[in-house]
Structure 1
Amino acid sequence: MFLEGFGSKHKHQGLQGFRQFLTMLSWAWILLPVVAAISDPDWEAFKHKYQKSYSSKGEETARYQLFKATKQRVEHLNKLNGEPAFGITWMADRYEEEKYKRGHRKPKGFVPVAPVRNSTGARTATAVDWRLTEAVTPIKNQGQCGSCWAFSATEAIESQLILASGGRYDIALSPQQIASCAPSTGTYGCQGCNGGFTEGAYEYLKTVPGLANSFYIPYQQSLTESTETVACPTAKVEAMDGPMMQLSGGYAAVTGYSYAVKPCTEGSCEHQDLKGLAAALEESPISVCVNAGVWNDYTGGVLSAAACGPMGADYQDHCVMAVGFNATAAKPYWIVRNSWASTWGMQGYIYLEMAKNTCGLADDATIPQVKVDLSEEEAQEAAARRMAMRRAEHSVPPRQRDSRACHSAADGRVRIEVLRCYDVFIEAQYVNVVVDMFNGGDLVDGLNTHRRAFGRVPNAQLARLAKQMMSAVAHVHGLSIIHRDVKGENFLADRPDIGDPDVKVALSDFGTAMRIEKGEMVSGRVGTPAFWAPEIYVGTYDFAVDVWAVGVTTFILLTGALPYEGEDAICARPGPKGTNDLTMPFYCSQLGADFLRQTMKKDVSDRPLAKEAVRHRWLTTQQNDAALVDECPPEEEVQAKSRVSQYRNCIFSALGGLTMYCCSALGYCMDSMCDQNEVEAAAARWSSKSKASTGGSILGVTDKDILEKQTTDLTKQISINLMEHQVSMKQ
C-alpha cells in the first residue's frame, strides 16, 4: 500500500483524510439531484404561466417535488371523479399552509337549537340559479385568513337583505366585523382567522345593532400571507345606528336564523334531506358548510361525492353558499359559491354532484333572518320585486326529448344546433311559427348577463359555444342552404347563463335564408352589415359569408366588441397573401386566435368551409389550460422582451419615426429604454400597415390635428391595455 512508507501518525492522518474525501464524495452524489437543472417541460410551462421565481436552486427543487406530487394527486382525483374536475393551478407548488384557507370550527359539544324552516312546498323547479338575479353579490376573497365562516354568513345575510327589501338595500356587508368581533367564549366559540362557525356569527349579530357595510368596516386581513385577526372596532359597531348612521352607511339587522333542513352533527350524514334543500333553494340562497379538503385542486366541472370524500359532520372544514342547482344536466349538480376570489374554480363557483350529499353540503345549511323597516307601499313593491327575482332564478331548460335534438326549419333532418319547427299557421295579418322554446334568450342577452355576473366568457366555454354555432352552419350548408344573417341575436340559448358548460344554443331566424347549389353565387345585401363578409360589399358571394359571421359572433363573445368597424375596415386589404390584420386581445388562447383568423380571412379563397372549420383544433380539444396570445401587434415576428416593451414599440410605431427621443404618456423617457433596431423595425412594419389601410403613411398626413388625435387615441388604448394586463398579472 502507498501508505506503508509513512509513519503511524502520517498513516492515521492519511486514512482520516481519505475517509473525509469519501464522505464528501457520497454527499456530492446525494446532493447532485438537488442542484442539477430540472428538465421538465410541464414545470417550465407552469413557471411561465404563473410567473414563478425562486430564491435558490434548492427552493426550486423542493417546489418541483410539490408540483410533481400535485400532478399525481390530480390524476388520482380525476379518476375517482370519473371525469376531469381537477387540474394544475397556481397552488401546485405550494405547501398546504400556503394554499387557500379553510376555517370552519364548531365548539365541542355544540347542540343546534334553531328551528328547521318548513319550505312552502315540494320542489317544483328542475333548475334554479340565483346568480342570474341581483340577490347574489359579487365573489369575495377571504385571503390568507380562515374566515370562511364569516364570509358565508355575510353573503347569506346580503342575499336575505336584498330579497327582503326587493333589491332596495343592495349593500356589500362586512365580514371583517364578524371575524373580529364574534366572541371566542360561551356559546360563540369563534376564533377569527383561526376558525369559527356560522351559527356563532348569527348569535353575535343578534347582540349588536347589525352587520355594518364593508365601507364602514372594511376587510383588513392580508390576501397574501397569514396574519393575526384584526382587533374588533368596538366603537364603530356601537355607533352603527347612532346619529352618524346616514354618513356611515346602511347595515343589516339580524334577528336570528333557521336551518334549511335538519342538521347532521354526527355519523356519516349520508341520508340528509336533499329534496328539502332543493326546495329551500327555490326560495333563497343558503349558507352551507362542507368538506373542502380537495377543493384547492378544483378547476371546473362537476365534483362527485366519491372524489370529494367523507360527508360527515366531523369532516366539515369550510363554509360557503349554495346558490342553485341544475337537475336537467347529464350529471345533475348543486351550484356553490366560494370565497377564494373569482380566479378560483369556475370564476369563483363549484358544481357538486346533486344525487348525493356531496362534500356534506346538507349537513349545516342555515338561513339568516333579517329585519327590514318598510312602509306599506314599499313592502308591496318589495314583495312584487321579490317574486320577479324568484321567477328569474328558475332557469328551466326546454323540455327534454328522447332525441335531445331539434329539427331544422328548412328540413326534416334531426339536429341539435338548429331550431325545430312544429307548425305554421296564419292568424289575421300574422304568420305564426311554432318552434322550440328557449328560455335563455339569445346569445347577446346571455353575454350581457354573463359579463355583469362573471366577467369574460372563459376560453373553454367560448370554444364550446363556437363549436355549436359552426356545427349549425355546417348543417344548413349541408342542406344547400345559406343563412345570410348569422349573428348572436339569431342563436338562442336554453338557459340564461351562457357560461354553463351544459348550455345548448340553436340557430334561428331563417327569414333571409335561401337554397343555392354548390358553386352558385348570389347577390343582394341582406342581413346585418356589421356581420357582412368583404365579398358582400363586392357584389356576389356564397356559403363562406356564414363562416365569416360565426367568426365575428365568436369575437364579440370573446371581447364584447366588433372585430372591424364599418365597410372600410372590413374591406381593407390585410397585406401580403396569407396574412391577417385582425388584432387579438392577450387573454385569447392561441388556438382560439387561430380559429378567429381562419374564419375571418378576407380572401374568401383562404377561408375554410363550415364543415372544415368545425374540425378546428380549438373546437375539438380540451381548452382548460390553453396557452394565451402574448403579442402586440398581432402576428408580431419580433419576440419582445416583455409586454411593456411591446407597448413601447406600439407607441413608437404610431409616431412612425416622428421622434425617436421623447417622453411618452406612460410617464418616463423612452429613448433610454428601447433598443434602436427593435424600434426602427417596428416602425417600418407599422408604417407599411398604415399605408395598406389608409392609402398613405401616417407621416404623409398633412392635417396636424388628425395626426395628434390618432396618436392620443392609440396612447389611451395602450394605457387601457396596460391596466388590463396589470390586473391580469395580479390575479
Structure 2
Amino acid sequence: MRGRQVLVAVIITAGALVSPPCCRHVSSAETRSELNNSAVAFESFREQFHRRYEVNSEELNRRYLYFQDAVKRHAFLNSFSTAPQSAKYGINQFSDLSQKEFRDLYLRASTDRAPLFSGLKIEGLPAKFDWRDKAVVAPVQNQQACGSCWAFSVVGAVQSVHAIGGSQLEQLSVQQVVDCSFKNKGCNGGSPSWTLNWLKQTKVKLVPQSEYPYKAKTGICHFFSQSHEGVVVKNFTAHNFSGQEKAMMGQLVQRGPLAVVVDAVSWQDYLGGIIQHHCSSQWSTHAVLVVGYDTTGEIPYWIVQNSWGTTWGDEGYVYIKIGGNICGIADSVAAVFL
C-alpha cells in the first residue's frame, strides 16, 4: 500500500505543475479527488497487466499521463456508441501507450492499391456464416511488440484454407514468414499482398509453428529442403470490395477466411461490441483475418480475428459493421488458393 501512496503523491504534484491556468477555478478538493481516483485506477492497471515501473521515475510519470489521455479518449469514443450493440472502449493492455507508440509498434502493415472487384455476387448466401463453426480457424495469437500483423493475417488464411481442403487444422509458422519474406521488413512491417506474391512465386513451403516457433523479433531465415513437408500457396486474389461488401461475403463463404488491411487506430481502446463510427479508411495500416459475418441482427457485422492476444477485444476478436467500408475493411481483401 505504501507504494500506491507514494505514487499518488508524485502524480498529484505532477498534476499541479501541468494544470492549465484556465482550469484553476476547480476546487483543490475536487482536483485532489480526481487525481486520487485516476492514480488508483492506474495502479490497478499496472497490477493487472504486470507493469513494473520504478516509483518516482520519469517513465512512470510519462506512462501515467498517457493513461490519463486514454481515459479521456475512452469517454469521447463511447459518446458515439449509444446503441446496445455498439462498440465499447476502455482500459486494456495498450492504455499506457501514447497513440504514436501504439501505431509504431502494432500498426505496421502496408498495401498496394487493389483493383476493384468485378466478379459476380453469389446469390442465396446464408444470413450468418462463421468458419470457426467448421473448426478450421486456429486460436487467436499474440504478435507482441513486433509489427508482424501482416504475417499473422496471411498465415491465418493459409492454415484455414488448408484445413478447409480436408487437412487437419495446424498452426503454421508466422516466424518463417517474418524471417524469410525478403520484400517485407520483419517486425518493422510488411504487406499481405507482397507476402502472398512471395509465397506464390517461390513456392516456399510453410512449416508447422512447432518446427519454427514465433519469437516476436526478426531473425535469420531458416531454409528447409524441397523434400520437407509443408503447405504451398498456388495462387491468391486481392481486390477492393468497397461498395460491394455483399460480394465480399460471397468470397468469404466460397474461398475461406480473408486477409484484409484496415485502419485500426481506434482499436487501441476497443473492448467489444460492433464498431460503427470513428474508423475511417484513410490510413489502412493493420492486417487481420475476417472469419465470418452475421446479418441476423439490427446491425450486420463482420467477425474479425486479430493478433493481439485473447485479453484484447472480445477474446481477441473485433466486430465491424457491414456496409460503408467501416475501418476500410473492404479496401484490400485477399483470398488464398492452395
Question: Structure 1 CA distance, aligned partners of 2:204 and 2:72?
Answer: 50
Pairing partner for 2:274 from 302, 312, 316: 302
Pairing partner for 2:250 from 265, 279, 304: 279
- Report the Cα offset of residue 153 of structure 1: 0.6
Question: Structure 1 CA distance, aligned partners of 2:147 and 2:153?
Answer: 12
Amino acid at match of 2:152: F
Partner of 2:173: 174
Amino acid at match of 1:144: A
Higher mean C-alpha displacement, 82-91 vs 250-259: 82-91
Question: Structure 2 CA distance, aligned partners of 1:198 and 1:233?
Answer: 20
Local SS of the residue matching 1:282: helix
Residues 1:118 and 1:135: Cα distance change in structure 2 (over 3 Å) = farther
- Report the Cα offset of residue 155 of structure 1: 0.5
**Contact preservation (8 Å) 2:121, 2:247:** no
Q: What is the CA deviation profile of residues 207-233 of structure 1, one whole-angstrom value per residue up to 9, with x for unaligned ones?
A: 1342222122221225xxxxxx21211
Question: Structure 1 CA distance, aligned partners of 2:118 and 2:156?
Answer: 19
**Contact preservation (8 Å) 2:113, 2:332:** no
Question: Structure 2 CA distance, aligned partners of 1:35 and 1:332?
Answer: 44
Partner of 2:66: 66
Q: Does structure 1 residue 33 correspond to structure 2 residue 36? A: no
Alignment of 1:104-143 (within 5 A): 104-106=109-111, 110=112, 112=114, 118=119, 121-143=122-144
- Report the Cα offset of residue 307 of structure 1: 2.2
Partner of 1:602: none
**Contact preservation (8 Å) 2:289, 2:304:** yes
Residues 1:93 and 1:32: Cα distance change in structure 2 (over 3 Å) = closer
Question: Structure 2 CA distance, aligned partners of 1:52 and 1:182?
Answer: 33
Question: Structure 1 CA distance, aligned partners of 2:303 and 2:191?
Answer: 21
- Report the Cα offset of residue 201 of structure 1: 0.8
**Contact preservation (8 Å) 2:121, 2:246:** no
Local SS of the residue matching 1:299: strand
- Report the Cα offset of residue 323 of structure 1: 0.8
Partner of 1:217: 212
Residues 1:339 and 1:324: Cα distance change in structure 2 (over 3 Å) = same
Amino acid at match of 1:292: A
Amino acid at match of 1:263: N
Pairing partner for 1:256 from 235, 243, 248: 235
Partner of 2:199: 205
Residues 1:47 and 1:219: Cα distance change in structure 2 (over 3 Å) = closer
Alignment of 1:213-362 (within 5 A): 213-222=208-217, 229-234=218-223, 236=224, 239=225, 241-242=226-227, 245=228, 250-259=229-238, 262-263=239-240, 271-283=242-254, 284-304=256-276, 306-308=277-279, 310-312=280-282, 315-362=283-330
Partner of 1:101: 106
- Report the Cα offset of residue 87 of structure 1: 0.9
Partner of 1:195: 189
**Contact preservation (8 Å) 2:243, 2:323:** no
Q: Which has the higher contact order (CA 8 A, sep 6+)?
A: 2
- Number of equivalent positions: 302
TM score, norm. by length of structure 2: 0.81
Question: Structure 2 CA distance, aligned partners of 1:172 and 1:129?
Answer: 19
Could you list the structure 1 runs, at least 4 aligned residues long, displaced by more than 6 angstroms after superposition.
Answer: none
- Report the Cα offset of residue 124 of structure 1: 2.2
Amino acid at match of 1:86: Y
Partner of 1:635: none
- Report the Cα offset of residue 101 of structure 1: 1.0
Amino acid at match of 1:33: T
RMSD between aligned residues:
2.6
Residues 1:351 and 1:123: Cα distance change in structure 2 (over 3 Å) = farther
Question: Gapped runs of 5+ residues in structure 2?
Answer: 1-10, 17-31
Structure number with bigger Rg: 1
Question: Gapped runs of 5+ residues in structure 1?
Answer: 1-30, 185-189, 223-228, 265-270, 371-731
Q: Does structure 1 residue 364 correspond to structure 2 residue 312? A: no
Partner of 1:144: 145
Q: What is the CA deviation profile of residues 432-466 of structure 1, one whole-angstrom value per residue up to 9, with x for unaligned ones?
A: xxxxxxxxxxxxxxxxxxxxxxxxxxxxxxxxxxx
**Contact preservation (8 Å) 1:175, 1:219:** yes
Alignment of 1:383-402 (within 5 A): none
Amino acid at match of 1:254: V
**Contact preservation (8 Å) 2:108, 2:286:** yes
Partner of 1:45: 44
- Report the Cα offset of residue 123 of structure 1: 4.6
- Report the Cα offset of residue 111 of structure 1: 5.8
- Report the Cα offset of residue 98 of structure 1: 5.1
Identity score, percent: 29
Question: Structure 2 CA distance, aligned partners of 1:212 and 1:133?
Answer: 23
Question: Structure 1 CA distance, aligned partners of 2:286 and 2:113?
Answer: 19
Partner of 1:599: none
**Contact preservation (8 Å) 1:159, 1:285:** yes
